[in-house]
Structures are given as C-alpha cells and as structure tokens.
Structure 1
C-alpha cells in the first residue's frame, strides 16, 4: 500500500514587508483588551517624544477606560527601540491558511505609570494575596504532638546598660518588618517584574520590605542574577516565569 504524501499548505508572503511592533504589556491590561468585543473601539492614544541619540523613543499611553476592567490604571509609560532580531509575525486562520503578517522592526515596552491609581491597584492585589482559605479539620484527625518542657534562663542586664538596652529594643521594634509567606512574596515580586525586566536587590527590597535573606531565597528560585553585562548586579525572571508579562504584536 503506497504511503500518502504529506500535503504542505502554501505560506502567503504578501504582507511580509509590513512593519509591526512587538509590544510587551502588563498582564492585567492585556487580559482586559482580550475581552473587548467591539472591533472598532479605540483602545487608547499614544504621545511620543523625539527619538534619542541611541535611537530610543519614550512616550505616554492613555488607555480608553471603557476597555478596562476593575481598577486597572489608565496611564502607562512606553519605551520604543529598534530590535536587532529578525522576527516575523505568523497567522493561521480556521481554514488552515498560513501567512506572514509582517516583520518586527521595533519593540515596545509598556509600564504602568506610578500614581495614586497604580498605588491603589497594588494595595488591592497585596490584600487579595494575603487572604487565606480557611478549612475545618476535626481535632482527632490532627497528628499528636508530644509536649516537652523548655526552660529559659534570662540574665538580668547591668544597671549601666539598662538604658542602652531599652533604646535598642525600641529601635528594633520600630524597624521590625512583617514577614510574608513565600507565596505572598512571590506574588509581590512577580507584580514588580511587570513594571521592569531588571531589578537590583536593594531597590526591589525597598518596595517589598522583607528580610533581605528571605527575598534573596525567593529570587534564587524564580530569577537569574546577572554578574556582568549591561544589567550587572540585577535580577531577571527565569523564562518559565515570564508569563507575568504578556507579549502581543
């Protein structure tokens, strides 16, 4: 019995020379735009500055509020730069027709503008991430734990050091940070990586406000640390975790 030859569909190249942008946008914004039903609805408007000496352009994106859900910000910073990679945009419709829709000439990164609206969204996300699901478990199902007596001996401080010790306790109490769970911290870190691709440890911890050793432990699991190059001493999400930022052409 003769083998059937595989049928290869033609690839349509009429639009190959059309220039397109590769846009990286926050997940929440991309999800809202995917739910827009009206094809003719304007998503937003962009104002661009003049191109810099390095060939980059900065600007502002103002999103149409009617295309957004919940309390997603409407103002975003954008950075446009030429891409050295030769990327093509493919499409495949329901009939099996394959085509190249254009060539990527520029990449565009969209980042939320830090304002009151953005701060409110961050606060709400943090509160949601800290809500834990409560379960009811009968006491007889819990593992039995043997009780043990622990004795502590606390030495009384010298009189001359009592004042210094009191000041030290007050300082420690005021600087004490509330430690999150590992999952809560991961959610917060993922959120900040929606704004930027690269973060130095000190700057990231300024926003997270967690013990530095705890933050480094989490970053070691989900990030790559750059020891040299243009992003030296910065962390970047590992490829498998970069679904926190959606890419659309």
Structure 2
C-alpha cells in the first residue's frame, strides 16, 4: 500500500468548469509528446473547431524510426470538430496528483492531491471524414498488426561472445595454485629447527598449521614430525602433534594449544 503524504486535498479550483474530451489515440500521443507547450487552438462558435498547432514535436512509435514517424504524422488532419454532450444525473470532477519532491519515495507515497474542476461538458473530437484520413487509418492498422519481433536471415553469424571452456581469471587462479604447491624443500635440519621454534610457543599443533608456518610440503613436514613428535589420537588433544618427551626441555603447559 502507498502512504499518503497528507490528508489534505486542495479544493480551490473545485468549482471551475472543465470539458471531458475523447480524442483519437494518435492525437493524444501528439499532445503527450508536446507536454507543456501549445498543441492547438479551440474556436467556439456555432460549431466547436480544434486546429492543431503547426511544428509540433512528433511522437516516436515502437518499431518506427524518425523518418517513418514523420511521414505518418504528416498525414494527420489539422482540423477537428467537437460533438458536445451535456452532463445529466452525474457529478464528475478532475483530480490531480503532484509528486514533485518525493524523489525516491515516488512509488511508495501519494503526492499532493488537488481537485482541478468539475466536468460540465462531454465532447468527442472527430477528424474529417476524408479519403486522406481513411488512408492514414488504414496504414496505422497495418502497422499495429505487424509483430513487434521479426526473424531476420543473416548471411554471417555475428557472435559477440564466444563460449570458452575456462576463463582467463580461472586459468590464472589454477596456475597460481599449482605454483604455490611446488614449495621449495628446505634443508632437513632447517625444517627441524623451525618445528622446534614453533613448539617453544605452543605445545600442540595441527599438521596443517605447521605446514602453513614452515611453508613446506605437508608430506615433508609430516616426515620430519615423526622423528621429533608424536600424534595424539585421543582426547584431550585429539588430532594434534606434540614433541616427544626426550625433546621437551621445558614444562609443558597443557592449556596452550593452537
């Protein structure tokens, strides 16, 4: 549900008399394309006549370029007659909504409401019954019956994107992963010293953590660990490695673990 900006409705023009006019679609499209400008002149006498303003900006219809739009609009009649009807047993008003200033809330809030007037006359805007007008209507009907999407035969396929089995980003990632796996093997004594330094900080380690600390192949780290450490298969230090008793030259802190 949309939220009301306020409960007030402007009624200053509520008593102004307005006409409700039914016009052909092409004429309403012409008016919408020239919103805010003079679209014609209305002459009220014994008969009500409407004359279209010359030089108006022409609307562009779907599936029509500017040239086709100009050629069809040039055939629009410039003079129309109004057939008037009185309003009986009905009360109708024109209600407008101003959404200026709502910005991002335009779709969730109701703008300022105002009554622009009451309808006193109904009118039908009728074009002249000429052969030129009938020809224009026939062309409009033919264009409206044409499908919006058409199949075109191309002599050469225009492929803008060619599918690939692997993208360059994925290829670079796999290459970096392979290069990272080929870690240079340090001297066995150097690795053993690095492991001793690690166990001086913590008493228990996972194999993966020692491999990250030493940046050596995990199989190589495990091989050296089996010489200086033992694997704990049961709680409280399950799946962790600790130094063998003969290498423990410090008091083991059971609370320190990684």
Q: Which one has a larger percent strand, Structure 1 or Structure 2?
A: 1
TM over 0.5: no
TM-score with structure 1 length normalisation? Answer: 0.43
For CA contacts below 8 A with separation 6 or more, give which structure has more relative contact order.
Answer: 1
TM-score with structure 2 length normalisation? Answer: 0.42
